Structure 1
Amino acid sequence: MEQQWWHKSVIYQVYPKSFYDADGDGNGDIRGIIEKLDYLQELGVDIIWMCPINQSPMDDNGYDISDYYEIAPEFGTIQEFETLIEEAQKRNIQIMMDLVINHTSDEHPWFVESRKSADNPYSDYYIWRDPKEGETGPKEPNNWASYFSGSAWEFDSNRQQYYLHLYSKKQPDLNWEHPKVRKEMQDVIRFWIEKGVKGFRMDVINKLSKDQRFPDVPNVPEGEYALGRPYYLDGPRIHEFLREVAAVYEGKEIVTVGETSGVTVENARLYTNPARKELDMVFQFDHMAVDAGPYPVGKWEVKPVDFLALKRIMSHWQDGLYGIGWNSLYWSNHDQPRAVSRFGDDREPYRELSAKMLGTCLHFMQGTPYVYQGEEIGMTNVQFESLDEYQDIELLNMYKERRAKGVSHDELMRAIWAKGRDNARTPMQWDDTGHGGFSKAEQTWLKVNPNYKAINVKAQLEDPESVFHYYKSLIQLRKDSPVSDVMVYGKYQLLLAEHEGVYAYTRTFETDTLLVLCNFQDDTYSLALDEVHTLQGAAPIIGNYSAPQLEGETIVLRPYEALVLQLT
């Protein structure tokens, strides 16, 4: 595979609203990111992916854009964004923007015009359909459900038609069948590249192409709705649309990652094969379902992680894309719970050990690692007592809908504490002062996790054994060390596939082999690996205990221990 500038990069995801508030209004902002660039440089990251900062009514925290060419005032100005790019590049850090092009806000001028009539220049910018005749009168064009509960169709009295919204009713889906829409989006991309942006995370990108028949989901009871995923995931023209987009920046040093829910390895090979010129990486979500029931309601079931399934899924993607495409590696993001609370153990004394273990397991796999803000200090899920303290539209809609179906308040709160998106969106914990040092405002947009006095950046920077310094070491190993090439380009092989507590694998590149051992439990295990590899002469590369316990050909792994050995 031809080497690319971003192959050895580590990408740090910033949720701007929660990162750092420089102007004291209770919301994070661009100036706040600028002020923390030295911190990110110290960590060693190469690219900052920023969640949306475009002009927006903030119905879905910025994923409802009303102007693609402006910055939301609560985040700052275009001039401040230009300063961010300039200051980041001084520190050898590039900026990746969130590109939301499946839908806009209903307050976008295009939609304001589109809904006026069926015969104006913007009429076909969105997906409009006539009502279907039902037994009791007009009804939605089909029975597709919104990801945010209820129908995916909203009736508009001006046009006497329904428009499609796979998400909030304030997020109408764009009509990518219309050439003018595609041209508009290409112009948006050019604009931000000219500003100095070096990458795009493309939101729900495999949903652009819809089955133009818009059929009903079969076997759904009358009056109920179901996600129409078979009719818009990896749709009939998606690869054509993505190649058109990629042509905009062909020949430029741009890195792209597509959010592709429901994607298979087979489709991901198409998306990420460099010869096809579509995407560089995709975010797949298979491993995000190992503690859930059937999609989509099963997300809110509180279940233990199916550890054997986790290993199978991660290995399937490691093997499936090797030599063809490129993996994106992540444990958490703005839409997922905190990694240490979900896959590790956020109880003391295991929080830091398991946070380091999770980092080790991920960063030694093939692909590009993503660090979500706060992951590098072991931030945890939050348990707000009142529903009123939560902000996420998905969470609030779920609560309302399931309470109406008789699910108890206590059961729903347990689900929110485990799976709610606001777990990842509580403000970054910078120090032990008010609001965790995130803001000097009297009140912040979302409350800080009360454990900020114990878990914060200041304390981690002062402790050489902290999660932060461990992550810094992981990142440095990947970028500039004798094992860099095997970390980045090595072939992956799963070991001990049926072991209930240990994730073990090797990475091999040319004559170099690394053995990665990660204990996901609070138990101690003795492992004999001599049938697979000899440990004679094995050299420790990194671990989260002071020294490995090697007894001949046996390795003793302590609770949540991570250990990487270079084998001879």
Structure 2
Amino acid sequence: MKSLLVLPVLFAVALSSYNKEKELDWWETTIFYQIYPRSFKDSNGDGIGDINGITENLEYLKELGIGATWLSPIFKSPMYDFGYDIADFYAIQEEYGTIEDFENLMAKAKELDIKIVLDFVPNHTSNESVWFEEALRGHEKYFDYFIWEDGVVDENGVMHPPTNWVSALRKSAWEYREEVGKYYLHQFVIGQPDLNYRNPDVVEEMKNVIRFWLEKGVADDPDNYDYLNHIYTKDLDETIEMVFQWREVFDDFKEKDGLSRVMMTEAYTTPKMAMKYYGNRDRKGAQMPFNFALISDVNGDSSAAEIKYALDSFLTFKPIDEHANWVAGNHDVSRVASRFSPELVDGINMITLLMPGIGVTYMGEEIGMVDGYVSWEDTVDPGGCNTDDPINYWITSRDPQRTPFQWSADKNAGFSVGNKTWLPVAADFENLNVEVQRVTEKSHLNIYKALAALRNDKIFRYSRYESVAYNEGVFAFRRWYNKKAYIVVINFRQEAYTIDLTYFENVNKKVQVLISSIQSPKNSWEVLQADKVEILGSESLVLKVLF
């Protein structure tokens, strides 16, 4: 039964995405900024972020240097999994706003030249969708939209689920419905029945959903998979085939209006397997199969060699004519400041924005937000609630990384004027917020802006790349193009080291500090001897090579 759904230390890897300058499409050079709408900005005081809150703050994204914003699901939903259980792919969830609000968002984004990305979740729908309700009534067409199996009766006459499969959010992946006398498959919460992609009607239905939103002016449409690590539901050729077919829909729209749409696919898998989502010589797939190396493979305890291996692996496996991408956080994983350390926030942002390829930032990473504390009583995420454990629920809950965005030191961190927010605001918001960091010369926010501006230099679009792990703590990489070069140095340990940057070819005498992390005492434009650069504990630097 199936459902669709080298030793790194002291050895440099030299890679090049381009051997000559060419005109690049908008998505090849921009920074993508992920917004979890429920937590970004509440415009009406109900404690829940909404579309108008995003519209009112698009200038903030422009200030950061963002060119595209990716919105987690805003479609109509009963909210058992906060929007990932979609009841109507053609409508907006009422607490987020209306179609008119969305159209206003699109208009404002167009004025600011910011592309809007919608999170399309094709794996499943909601058990409150019209499709599922019709299936329970015996409507043959919609019954075949889902995956049904008979139960297994044991020797005592007790019926059990068809298999021992467990959902991603705990407990059985099968749920029995008396109306039809069968179990349906749900790889996530009970309210998210998987769709049957072996049914041509489902395939066409989901293509129509994509067409509907592309016609609304959406420039992108990420395909969110979040697959289980099960051999019957993950990395199937049929899954890749669906990506190819969706790419064809995107390309059809480009032929009509000339605007490129970019498909981003989310699959937690090996680098080798992720490469299949790019497609091949005959058929194109996703332009951006998400690279989760910085999420799945490394953390604050990782050595410089492990960091190098994780980053270089994706570059090694990817097709030579495709782009890498760098993602350090999202709404499902602990924040960078908590997973690595607050001191390494700037260093990780240097990696995501200055490595070769496309940068993706989860909201709040630019100011170093940390995971908030959410008590058992306030926990709403199914990942935590389904544990039925008021002591250890926090281990699997995703609420801490979804706490409201910290705009200011005002009530509710400036997120909402309401008396209660859907999740409590993190305790550190009075000092850690956008308003404070805007006026602090050396802050995570201003360092992020400097990195985004530096990224516009063509060296970060066309240059070569090589990296080295100097020792247990220090990872460095060089980007160079023609007679210009930059070196990024990040110390993942609290111990200080003195390193020799002349290890890199054509780095001879001096380097100049352009950007330094907030705890670094080094000043911009300070000149250092390249053969004996002292790197303090948790310090990160962007250096310009002086020839």
Partner residue of 2:277 out of 268, 271, 279: 271
Partner letter of residue 369 of structure 1?
G
Note the C-alpha offset of 1:194. Answer: 0.8
1:468 aligns with 2:445: yes
Counterparts in 2 of 1:85-484, with a 5 A limit?
Answer: 85-117=106-138, 120-136=140-156, 137-204=158-225, 229-250=230-251, 251=254, 252-262=259-269, 264-273=270-279, 275=281, 276-290=283-297, 304-305=301-302, 308-321=305-318, 323-345=320-342, 350=343, 354-384=344-374, 386-397=375-386, 399-400=387-388, 403=389, 412=392, 416=395, 420-479=397-456, 484=457
Query: Is the CA contact (8 Å cut-off) linking 1:144 and 1:228 kept in structure 2?
Result: no
Q: Distance in 1 between matches of 2:186 and 2:268?
A: 17
Q: Report the equivalent of 2:37.
A: 16
Q: Report the equivalent of 2:7.
A: none
**Structure 1 residues 510 and 159, CA gap change in structure 2 (3 angstroms):** farther
Counterparts in 2 of 1:505-544, with a 5 A limit?
Answer: 505-533=477-505, 534-544=507-517
Give the fraction of aligned pairs with identical amino acids, expressed as a percent: 34
More deviation, 233-242/156-165: 233-242
Query: Is the CA contact (8 Å cut-off) linking 2:120 and 2:222 kept in structure 1?
Result: yes
More deviation, 280-289/243-252: 280-289
Q: Report the equivalent of 1:554.
A: 532
Partner residue of 1:82 out of 98, 103, 107: 103
Query: Is the CA contact (8 Å cut-off) linking 2:510 and 2:529 kept in structure 1?
Result: no
- The secondary structure found in structure 2 opposite 1:278 is coil
Query: Is the CA contact (8 Å cut-off) linking 2:275 and 2:319 kept in structure 1?
Result: no
Note the C-alpha offset of 1:247. Answer: 1.2
- The secondary structure found in structure 2 opposite 1:424 is helix
Q: Distance in 2 between matches of 1:325 and 1:132?
A: 47
Q: Distance in 1 between matches of 2:543 and 2:198?
A: 52
- The secondary structure found in structure 1 opposite 2:513 is strand
Q: Distance in 2 between matches of 1:267 and 1:526?
A: 39
- The secondary structure found in structure 1 opposite 2:82 is coil
Q: Distance in 1 between matches of 2:106 and 2:341?
A: 35
Q: Report the equivalent of 1:494.
A: 467
Q: Distance in 2 between matches of 1:304 and 1:88?
A: 40
Query: Is the CA contact (8 Å cut-off) linking 2:305 and 2:469 kept in structure 1?
Result: no
**Structure 1 residues 140 and 203, CA gap change in structure 2 (3 angstroms):** same
Counterparts in 2 of 1:46-85, with a 5 A limit?
Answer: 46-85=67-106
Note the C-alpha offset of 1:503. Answer: 1.6
1:563 aligns with 2:536: no
Note the C-alpha offset of 1:310. Answer: 3.3
Displacement over 4 Å in runs of 4+ = 303-307
Note the C-alpha offset of 1:169. Answer: 0.8
Note the C-alpha offset of 1:561. Answer: 1.6
Query: Is the CA contact (8 Å cut-off) linking 1:273 and 1:324 kept in structure 2?
Result: no
Note the C-alpha offset of 1:242. Answer: 1.4
Measured against aligned partners, the alpha-carbon deviations of 1:239-294 in whole angstroms (never above 9, x if no partner) come to 221111111121341011101112x22233232257432101112334423469xx
Note the C-alpha offset of 1:195. Answer: 0.7
Note the C-alpha offset of 1:334. Answer: 0.6
1:7 aligns with 2:28: yes
- The secondary structure found in structure 1 opposite 2:234 is coil
**Structure 1 residues 473 and 228, CA gap change in structure 2 (3 angstroms):** closer
Query: Is the CA contact (8 Å cut-off) linking 2:510 and 2:527 kept in structure 1?
Result: no
- The secondary structure found in structure 1 opposite 2:144 is helix
Query: Is the CA contact (8 Å cut-off) linking 2:511 and 2:530 kept in structure 1?
Result: no
Query: Is the CA contact (8 Å cut-off) linking 1:166 and 1:173 kept in structure 2?
Result: yes
Query: Is the CA contact (8 Å cut-off) linking 2:366 and 2:444 kept in structure 1?
Result: yes
Note the C-alpha offset of 1:559. Answer: 2.4
- The secondary structure found in structure 2 opposite 1:559 is coil
Note the C-alpha offset of 1:309. Answer: 2.9
Query: Is the CA contact (8 Å cut-off) linking 2:385 and 2:397 kept in structure 1?
Result: no
Aligned residues: 511
**Greater RCO (Cα-Cα under 8 Å, separation 6 or more):** 2
Partner letter of residue 361 of structure 1?
I
Q: Distance in 2 between matches of 1:531 and 1:197?
A: 46
Query: Is the CA contact (8 Å cut-off) linking 2:294 and 2:327 kept in structure 1?
Result: no
Query: Is the CA contact (8 Å cut-off) linking 1:148 and 1:167 kept in structure 2?
Result: yes
Measured against aligned partners, the alpha-carbon deviations of 1:26-65 in whole angstroms (never above 9, x if no partner) come to 1000110011111111111000100000000000010000
> Normalised by the size of structure 1, how large is the TM-score?
0.85
Note the C-alpha offset of 1:488. Answer: 2.9
Q: Distance in 2 between matches of 1:133 and 1:333?
A: 42
Partner letter of residue 525 of structure 1?
Y
**Structure 1 residues 552 and 162, CA gap change in structure 2 (3 angstroms):** closer
**Structure 1 residues 248 and 449, CA gap change in structure 2 (3 angstroms):** same
Q: Which runs of 5+ in 2 are unaligned?
A: 1-17
Query: Is the CA contact (8 Å cut-off) linking 1:272 and 1:324 kept in structure 2?
Result: no
Measured against aligned partners, the alpha-carbon deviations of 1:299-321 in whole angstroms (never above 9, x if no partner) come to xxxx9446543331122112222
Q: Which runs of 5+ in 1 are unaligned?
A: 208-226, 293-302, 404-408
Query: Is the CA contact (8 Å cut-off) linking 2:292 and 2:328 kept in structure 1?
Result: no
> Normalised by the size of structure 2, how large is the TM-score?
0.88
**Structure 1 residues 234 and 363, CA gap change in structure 2 (3 angstroms):** same
Measured against aligned partners, the alpha-carbon deviations of 1:320-367 in whole angstroms (never above 9, x if no partner) come to 22624322211111111110121123xxxx4xxx32222112211122
**Structure 1 residues 487 and 291, CA gap change in structure 2 (3 angstroms):** closer
Query: Is the CA contact (8 Å cut-off) linking 1:336 and 1:420 kept in structure 2?
Result: no
- The secondary structure found in structure 2 opposite 1:506 is strand
